[in-house]
């Protein structure tokens, strides 16, 4: 893959017309904007259909009629957010170029318009904004990790990523257990929410039968552990199956044949994660006859080993990001950060600018999620644009080596 470094971009692209760089599919700026909008309407609603489907599946609960309508309204709004961000790239660039800049510049071509279009995040309700920011901050961390790896400064490895995930899970579950008592807790989208710390106390018990009075659950411990593990194992497998089959829905026989044992990995990770966590909590409650939020530290740490079954850089960093989110929400709640500062929205704009800039200029180190996101939301128009950037640079390098 070719990198559009600042040097080559300025040399090869800066004096281009906008129809050869920003909208290679048509000459006129107004046509380009409307075509981009149509592609993004289609792409955005397709993308959010998948997002909402997965979110509903992850809940593991059936939705009532009222909730269905509520989810559908949210879906429509999220779609507007997606299509605004996607389609405004072309429009903003054409406008900026006509009004302010006579040439394309490495920073003002993607970074600037994509930072500005981030304000569309206001279409999402506040609690969803927090979740979107969490996702994007995590992607920026991934982008940095990939950049460090690319430069050879800090190599990524399964062992290192597992350790980061274990440490992150340990901190995150501890803070989540503390947060359970907080009525204004920050919305987190995690595999599961640990139960609140039980106030019951009892005698230490031996063996594996029954439960300790201190256990934060009903029914025997073994049931509790295996039910959780089986449920999340199912969710993990279902997600993998959907991801494998849906793109090949027109050839179901082929799709089914493509399934194999390696598709169980995600299920093993999810199931193992909750299984080990619950096991450790129960063992400690049974041994000590009382529950404590601190048990989440060893439980989260050990549960993190399950990550090895299905390692990935974004997931490795996710508990760290969510831990930071909880800490920031505490700063808001105790008044250190004034609540009227639009920090969440600003942070979103910056992250979006950085990531979309990375998508076009530094494809090698851009998180795969962003590549797929932009491809889906713009119905492949983003790929066309990036292609025209790279072609220009390659042609220039051929002419003036």
Residues that bind Zn ion (CB under 5 A): 18, 29, 94, 211, 215, 221, 282
- Give least dist CB 18 to Zn ion, A: 3
- Give least dist CB 273 to Zn ion, A: 17
- Within its chain, how far is the Cα of 62 from the centroid? 24
By the 8 A CB rule, do 307 and 316 touch? yes
- Give least dist CB 218 to Zn ion, A: 10
Pick the closest to residue 308 from 128, 165, 198 (CA basis). Answer: 165
What's the token pair of residue 359?
Answer: 């998508």
Nearer Cβ to Zn ion (30/182): 30
Pick the closest to residue 224 from 181, 197, 194 (CA basis). Answer: 194
Three-state secondary structure call for residue 201: strand
- Give least dist CB 93 to Zn ion, A: 7
Could you give the angle at the alpha carbon of 285 between the alpha carbons of 280 and 291, nearest 5°?
110
Could you give the angle at the alpha carbon of 305 between the alpha carbons of 299 and 309, nearest 5°?
140
- Give least dist CB 242 to Zn ion, A: 32
- Give least dist CB 285 to Zn ion, A: 6
Could you give the angle at the alpha carbon of 235 between the alpha carbons of 263 and 189, nearest 5°?
120
Cα separation, 401 vs 398, in Å, equals: 6
How deeply is 255 buried, as exposed, middle or buried, from its count of CB atoms within 10 A (0-12, 13-18, 19+)?
Answer: middle
Nearer Cβ to Zn ion (205/320): 205
Cα separation, 31 vs 25, in Å, equals: 10
How does DSSP classify residue 31?
H
- Give least dist CB 181 to Zn ion, A: 20
- Give least dist CB 173 to Zn ion, A: 16
Pick the closest to residue 186 from 297, 321, 304 (CA basis). Answer: 321
Nearer Cβ to Zn ion (211/392): 211
Cα separation, 280 vs 264, in Å, equals: 24
Nearer Cβ to Zn ion (288/333): 288
Nearer Cβ to Zn ion (221/299): 221
Nearer Cβ to Zn ion (166/215): 215
How does DSSP classify residue 290?
B
Residues 6+ apart with CB under 8 A from 306: 268, 269, 270, 271, 272, 273, 275, 276
By the 8 A CB rule, do 21 and 388 touch? yes
- Give least dist CB 165 to Zn ion, A: 24
- Give least dist CB 380 to Zn ion, A: 19
Three-state secondary structure call for residue 104: coil
Nearer Cβ to Zn ion (98/150): 98
Nearer Cβ to Zn ion (22/130): 22
Nearer Cβ to Zn ion (117/329): 117
Residues 6+ apart with CB under 8 A from 179: 185, 186, 326
Nearer Cβ to Zn ion (288/312): 288
What's the token pair of residue 345?
Answer: 């929205």
């Amino acid at each position: 893959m070719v990198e559009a470094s600042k040097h080559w971009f300025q040399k090869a692209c800066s004096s281009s017309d906008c129809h050869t760089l920003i909208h290679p599919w048509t000459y006129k700026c107004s046509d380009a904007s409307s075509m981009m909008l149509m592609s993004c309407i289609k792409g955005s609603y397709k993308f959010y259909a998948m997002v909402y489907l997965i979110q509903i599946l992850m809940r593991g609960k059936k939705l009532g009629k009222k909730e269905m309508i509520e989810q559908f309204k949210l879906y429509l709004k999220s779609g507007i957010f997606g299509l605004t961000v996607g389609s405004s790239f072309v429009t903003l660039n054409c406008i900026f170029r006509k009004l302010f800049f006579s040439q394309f510049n490495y920073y003002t071509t993607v970074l600037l318009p994509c930072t500005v279009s981030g304000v569309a995040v206001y279409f999402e309700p506040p609690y969803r904004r927090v979740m979107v920011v969490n996702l994007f901050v995590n992607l920026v961390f991934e982008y940095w990790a990939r950049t460090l790896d690319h430069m050879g400064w800090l190599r990524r490895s399964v062992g290192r990523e597992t350790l980061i995930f274990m440490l992150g899970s340990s901190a995150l579950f501890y803070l989540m257990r503390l947060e359970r008592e907080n009525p204004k807790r920050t919305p987190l989208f995690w595999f599961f929410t640990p139960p609140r710390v039980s106030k019951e106390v009892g005698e230490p018990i031996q063996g594996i039968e029954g439960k300790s009075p201190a256990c934060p659950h009903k029914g025997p411990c073994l049931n509790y552990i295996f039910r959780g593990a089986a449920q999340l194992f199912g969710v993990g497998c279902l997600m993998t199956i959907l991801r494998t089959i849906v793109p090949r829905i027109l050839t179901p026989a082929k799709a089914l044949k493509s399934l194999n044992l390696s598709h169980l990995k995600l299920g093993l990770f999810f199931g193992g994660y909750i299984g080990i966590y619950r096991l450790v909590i129960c063992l400690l409650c049974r041994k000590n006859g009382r529950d404590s939020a601190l048990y989440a530290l060893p439980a989260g740490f050990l549960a993190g080993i399950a990550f090895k079954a299905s390692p990935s850089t974004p997931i490795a960093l996710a508990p760290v990001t969510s831990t930071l989110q909880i800490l920031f929400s505490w700063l808001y709640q105790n008044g250190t950060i004034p609540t009227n500062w639009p920090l969440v929205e600003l942070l979103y704009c910056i992250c979006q600018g950085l990531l979309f800039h990375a998508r076009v200029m530094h494809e090698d180190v851009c998180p795969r999620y962003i590549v797929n996101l932009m491809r889906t939301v713009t119905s492949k128009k983003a790929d066309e644009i990036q292609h025209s950037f790279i072609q220009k640079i390659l042609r220039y390098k051929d002419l003036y080596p």
